[in-house]
Amino acid sequence: MHGQNITSRIWIIVLLIFINESLQTIALHSSYMETVKQWNLLSYNFPWDYPVANKDFYNAENVVATGIEVGYDLIFLATPRLFAGVPATLSSISRNSHGDSPILEAYPSWSHHRSGTNDYNCTDIGLVSVYRVRIDSCNRLWALDAGVSRSLEDFEISCPPKILIYDLYTNQVVRRIDFPTEVIRGESLFTNIIVDETTSKKENHCDDVFVYITDTVAPGIVVYDSEKDLTWRLSHPAMYPDPDFAESTILEHRFTLMDGVVGMAFDPESAILYFQPLATDRLFSVSTASLRIGPLGFGKELPVKLVGRKSSQGIGLAAAPLGGTIFYSPLSETAIASWNPRTNEHRYLKHSNKLTVAYSLKIRKEFSSLQICVRLNEMALLSTY
């Protein structure tokens, strides 16, 4: 993420929770979580003639997964270009791969990851830096490309941000969304994406969804109406970092990160979007109706609510598809916790020294229970029964 003053290398995790049981069952059985896959460092299946020894091209210690999605047969990892040395920003592994340290395949092919080369043109079909991806119910992968290279080093704006939608049956780009310049700010960093299908009609094949996007460095939420192809930008003080929470502590590491809104979760039952800046102990909500209505009129304020306070800062956030439970990961506690604002029930699901920064929390109902953790020098894929 974007920070001025990282005093030590931050551990990184991507976490995914799959459920096929009630959330309560998960909470009760959390001690049965086990690691089913882990990595020391991420490595790629490179073409034979790639300059793998060049650290500016590939530096395994700089490849950090912040986003994860699971398809029918592939698991997708988003590895943004936080530093130099990230050869591909979106990759896949087979869901059935055996053994640890599965090798990443650039997705859909290496030709989509040429942004670091001299002859790359931003109008080409390719990706610069992807923090998070989402799969919609039409089996299409939405890749949100921030367009910024080396965001933790020199923050080079390589290309404007965009979305590429891949059809996972054909692995072809079926739609490209370029954002109008009025929703982009000089320091924009688009990091997270929610695809809201609650009013989508089956015959429209997911081309009538609403999309909510976090701008973490120039804090705001960008809304895209994919049916009308309209985009607008909304902002609120709750999306900004709180200077009192600029310093985070994880295990023995202390670092300063003044990131704005980055965690987002969507509760489709109550049509509420939850969000949190990194530098805060607070969790906020806003109704999707108020996001969908369009740009704010002059003097109008977005009806953001304070949902509650957490024990420490966090990034990853998820909401259960039913029941309203929110999952979050307080950084200092290196844990995964859940909280139901309707019943005020709190639970600790998992504590681990391996679970440091949960960059992404996801819940999928349709697969067996599974949890994935990724961090900088070690990544683990956990499973819970």
Ligand X SMILES: *[C@@H]1O[C@H](CO)[C@@H](O)[C@H](O)[C@H]1NC(C)=O
Q: Write out the residues near ligand X by the rule CB under 6 A.
A: 121, 123
Which C-beta is closer to ligand X: that of 126 or that of 316? 126
Which C-beta is closer to ligand X: that of 117 or that of 123? 123
**Cβ at position 155, least distance to ligand X in Å:** 21
Which C-beta is closer to ligand X: that of 149 or that of 356? 149
User: What's phi and psi for 290, nearest 5 deg?
Assistant: -75, -20
**Cβ at position 174, least distance to ligand X in Å:** 20
Which C-beta is closer to ligand X: that of 123 or that of 344? 123
**Cβ at position 61, least distance to ligand X in Å:** 32
Which C-beta is closer to ligand X: that of 102 or that of 126? 126
**Cβ at position 122, least distance to ligand X in Å:** 7
**Cβ at position 160, least distance to ligand X in Å:** 13
Which C-beta is closer to ligand X: that of 111 or that of 377? 111
Picking from 115, 119, 201, 227, the residue whose alpha carbon sits closest to that of residue 162 is: 115
Closest residue by beta carbon to ligand X = 121
**Cβ at position 190, least distance to ligand X in Å:** 22
**Cβ at position 119, least distance to ligand X in Å:** 8
**Cβ at position 86, least distance to ligand X in Å:** 23
Picking from 312, 317, 330, the residue whose alpha carbon sits closest to that of residue 361 is: 317
| Both structure tokens of 176 | 């490209």
Which C-beta is closer to ligand X: that of 119 or that of 203? 119
Which C-beta is closer to ligand X: that of 80 or that of 126? 126
Picking from 240, 235, 318, 329, the residue whose alpha carbon sits closest to that of residue 273 is: 318
Which C-beta is closer to ligand X: that of 123 or that of 181? 123
Measured CA to CA, the distance from residue 16 to residue 373 in angstroms comes to 7
**Cβ at position 176, least distance to ligand X in Å:** 13
